[in-house]
C-alpha cells in the first residue's frame, strides 16, 4: 500500500536537489498515485566552508542531519551521492537502493588549458580531496594543489575569476547540472582513480520499513549495485572514508568483476595500486580481498601513520 506522501530528505545544493528531483520524477512515473515531497536541509558540511572536510568530521557532515530526520520518522528516506556516504551507517539505517551509475570519472575544468598535460609548471589546481591531490601530485609534481570548497557553482565561479588555473570535479555532477560543456578533459583512471561510489546515487532509509524498501526496488540497477558493493566493501575493510587518500573503481566484464584500488600518501610520494578480478556474485568478498592486498602491500603503514598523526582530527 502506497503512503499518501513520501518525504525525501536532501541537501539544499543544486546538485543534491537535482538528484532528489530525479528520484521523485522516477517514482511519480512508476507510481502515479504517489505524492513525493522534498525536504531540503542545510547540513554542517554546507555551512562550514573555511576548513577541510576531514577537519570537521569527514564526509558524514553531509549526511548526519538527513539521517537524524529518518531516525526520527520526520522523513521516509534520503537521497545521496554515494561517494559522500560513510562506510558505516547508524543503527537501523542502510543503503537500500543504488541507481544506475553516471560517469565515475574526474575531470579537469579550466579557462585556459585543455588538459592536465597542458598546465604550466606552478599552475594552481583547486581540490580539497586528498585522493585527488595525491594522485595529481604524483603525476605532475610541478603543480600546486590548493584547497577549494563549496558547491559546483561556487567552485566554477572561483575558477572563472582567476583564483585557480584549473579545478578537478566529478564528471557526473557537471553532467547532471547541464554543465558538460565546461569539461576540458576527462581524466583517465590511470592518472586519477575515482572515489568509492563516485557517479552513483543511493537511497537510504530505515531497514525495518519493508513496504518502502519493496517500493524502491524498481529504481535499483543490479550491475551498478554489484560494483558499488565491491568498492564500499573494500573501503569499509580499510576503515576508510572519502576524506582519506583512498580510491577505487569496479567494472563488470560479464559475470566477472574487475576492481582497482589505491591508497596514497597525501604528498603523492607513495601510491599503492592493486587490482583483482572475481565473481560478480561474490562482489563484496572480492572488495575485501582487494583491501587486504592494499594493506599488506604497504597501505596499512600509510593509514596507520595518518591516524597516528591525527590528520583527520
- What amino acid positions are annotated as catalytic residues? 84
Pairing of strands 256-264, 5-11: unpaired
Residue 118's DSSP bridge partners are none
DSSP 148-191: --S-HHHHHHHHHTTS-SEEEEEHHHHHHTT-GGG--EEPPTTT
Q: How far apart are CA 20 and CA 6, in angstroms?
A: 12
* Burial (Cβ within 10 Å: 0-12, 13-18, ≥19) of residue 187: buried
What residues form DSSP beta bridges with 65?
none
Q: In the beta sheet, which residues pair with residue 203?
A: 79, 97
Contacts of 264 (CB under 8 A, 6+ apart): 130, 131, 134, 135, 138, 245, 246, 247, 270, 271, 272, 302
| β strands within the chain, DSSP E | 5-11, 35-41, 77-81, 93-98, 106-109, 124-126, 144-146, 166-170, 185-186, 201-206, 246-253, 256-264, 271-279
Amino acid at each position: 500500500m502506497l503512503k499518501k506522501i513520501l518525504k525525501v530528505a536532501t541537501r539544499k545544493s543544486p546538485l543534491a536537489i537535482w538528484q532528489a528531483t530525479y528520484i521523485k520524477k522516477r517514482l511519480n512515473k512508476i507510481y502515479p498515485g504517489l505524492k513525493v515531497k522534498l525536504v531540503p536541509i542545510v547540513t554542517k558540511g554546507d555551512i562550514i566552508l573555511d576548513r577541510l572536510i576531514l577537519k570537521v568530521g569527514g564526509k558524514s557532515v553531509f549526511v548526519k542531519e538527513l539521517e537524524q530526520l529518518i531516525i526520527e520518522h520526520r522523513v521516509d528516506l534520503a537521497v545521496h551521492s554515494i561517494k559522500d556516504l560513510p562506510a558505516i551507517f547508524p543503527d537501523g539505517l542502510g543503503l537500500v537502493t543504488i541507481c544506475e551509475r553516471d560517469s565515475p570519472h574526474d575531470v579537469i575544468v579550466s579557462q585556459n588549458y585543455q588538459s592536465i598535460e597542458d598546465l604550466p609548471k606552478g599552475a594552481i589546481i583547486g581540490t580539497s580531496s586528498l585522493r585527488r591531490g595525491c594522485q595529481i601530485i604524483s603525476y605532475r609534481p610541478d603543480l600546486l594543489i590548493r584547497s577549494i570548497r563549496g558547491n559546483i557553482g561556487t567552485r566554477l565561479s572561483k575558477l572563472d575569476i582567476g583564483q585557480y588555473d584549473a579545478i578537478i570535479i566529478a564528471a557526473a555532477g557537471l553532467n547532471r547540472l547541464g554543465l558538460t560543456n565546461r569539461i576540458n578533459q576527462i581524466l583517465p583512471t590511470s592518472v586519477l582513480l575515482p572515489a568509492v561510489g563516485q557517479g552513483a546515487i543511493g537511497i537510504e532509509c530505515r531497514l525495518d520499513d519493508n513496504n518502502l524498501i519493496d517500493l524502491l526496488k524498481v529504481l535499483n540497477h543490479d550491475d551498478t549495485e554489484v560494483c558499488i558493493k565491491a568498492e564500499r566493501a573494500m573501503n569499509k575493510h580499510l576503515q576508510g572514508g572519502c576524506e582519506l587518500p583512498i580510491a577505487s573503481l569496479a567494472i563488470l566484464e560479464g559475470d566477472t568483476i574487475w576492481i582497482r584500488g589505491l591508497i596514497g600518501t597525501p604528498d603523492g610520494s607513495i601510491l599503492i595500486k592493486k587490482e583483482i578480478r572475481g565473481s560478480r556474485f561474490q562482489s563484496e568478498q572480492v572488495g575485501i580481498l582487494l583491501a587486504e592486498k592494499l594493506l599488506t602491500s604497504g597501505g596499512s603503514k600509510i593509514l596507520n601513520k595518518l591516524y597516528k598523526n591525527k590528520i583527520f582530527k
